[in-house]
A = this chain, B = another copy of it.
Amino acid sequence: MSLTFNEFYNGRTGLTVGVQKVLFSEQTPYQKVEILETDTWGRMMAIDGMVMLSEKDEFVYHEMLTHVALFSHPHPEQVLIVGGGDGGTAREVMRHQSVQQVDMVEIDEVVIRTSKEFLPDVGDWGNPKLNVLIEDGIEFVKNIEDPYDVIIIDGSDPLGPAEGLFKTDFMQACYDGLKDNGVLTAQTESPWVQDYHKSMKQVFAALDDIYEVSKIYLAYIPLYPAGMWSFAFASKGANPLSQQAMQRVEQGLPTFGSKLNYYNEDIHQSCFALPNFVADII
């Protein structure tokens, strides 16, 4: 038997990945979670048929969702991750020495359980800075009492339980849940996928309205639709391209212990350059 995983976007255009074995497949109360042993990408997690990560390419998404935010903040101590149940986002956040606590609020405990079991190298689960909560992130953000320095939205696509993460109310609640120097980043889909343009426009209009600074940035993610992924950056004033931010990148990266695979000083700046067709979407 020859197994392949297929994910389509833009009609019948899509990705095919050779699969050795299905390690886990379960319909949870929220979504379908699958862990596959692939031919060449290591293990891969799919949610509702969409690739979330593979062991071989997850570094791009996780480095880019986190370090752009963390280095843009003058001194991030308290960080909230909404979603992020595979643990990769928290792992990258906790590389920053200033960080004291990371609250990860994941709605679906199955994502955490299967990540720990099948993708144990993705998360840094034993790190004492990590505080995992199994809760609805949208409700959690509405009720924040002690605001955060950084909030990172690491949800799935805006078609399942993550739909609310792309709404104006939620972006306002995040704003209210941030301290004065606060910074937010979020994954915001592939600009090549027409079906996502509405969500993208909606998010960026909301961020532009609510936050003092808002920007879109990009990264190359091979297993995501079209290989191009967009992210939102928003803040109460912090500018990721300021001299101070660039200095923090330069001084901070050498403290990480091991070299990153994607993110560096040049990428921190260049990821904000948008091809004309991307700028035209929003």
Contacts and interface: CB of A to CB of B under 8 A. Distances in A.
A275 B269 contact: no
Contacts of A8: 16
A79 to B, nearest CB: 23
Contacts of A18: 11-13
Contacts of A226: 220, 222, 227
Interface string A70-88: 0000000000000000000
A15 B12 contact: no
Contact of A270 (B17, B41, B261, B270): B270
A151 to B, nearest CB: 25
Contact of A275 (B6, B228, B263): B263
A159 interface: no
A132 to B, nearest CB: 29
Nearest to A275: B262
B218 A220 contact: yes
A222 B225 CA distance: 8
A10 B266 CA distance: 28
A198 interface: no
Interface in A98-118: none
A251 interface: no
A17 B14 CA distance: 7
Give the residue among A4, A260, A275 with the most B Cβ atoms within 10 A.
A275
Interface of A: 4, 6, 8, 10-18, 38-41, 59-60, 192, 218, 220-222, 226-228, 259-264, 266-267, 269-277
Given A11-B18, A12-B40, A221-B227, 14 more contacts: A8-B16, A11-B40, A13-B18, A13-B39, A13-B41, A14-B16, A15-B16, A220-B227, A220-B275, A261-B276, A266-B273, A267-B274, A267-B275, A270-B273
